[in-house]
Structure 1
Amino acid sequence: MAFSGGLDTSAAVAWMRERGALPYCYTADLGQPDEPELDQIPDRALQYGAEAARLVDCREELVREGLIALQCGAFHITTAGKTYFNTTPLG
């Protein structure tokens, strides 16, 4: 499962393990600057009962897909003071 290390995913891993499941967790490295201890998140998943956990470097793929989205005309809009990115359907 995608594991952020937050309360929801931590509780989900523990809940699954308590019920006999063997959760495997993946954390995506998207280059997020607000997560200084990103490399420690898989260890957190293991502490909550994950069978295995790993950090996957997705930065290059995110850039590639982002450029494709821009080439397809993706844009952002602001509605009611909130910005919504990539609001154009792709595909």
Structure 2
Amino acid sequence: MVWVIRVGAYLFSGLTIWQFMQSNTTGGGPVHRPLAIDQAHAMILGVCAGVSNYTGVDVSLIRLVWVLAGLYRGAGVVLYILAFFIMPLAS
């Protein structure tokens, strides 16, 4: 079971590095998108859609990772609820 946590950590760190290395079309620095709940594209509360908008990763992949985290001792459910309370609404 440790390998699942290790693979998740590698994927998360890879996505984080990819996000910082990504630049916008004008050749400037990294693209700045606010991390906010996206209720327009929400299935439940909009947390996954907001994370997808922030990272640029497909929302289906974000939802799949969140479900897999939910199956692992309910960690995904707790993190989802916590993210809902912490993230602001998109304007």
TM-score clears 0.5: no
Which structure has greater strand proportion?
1
Which structure has greater helix proportion?
2
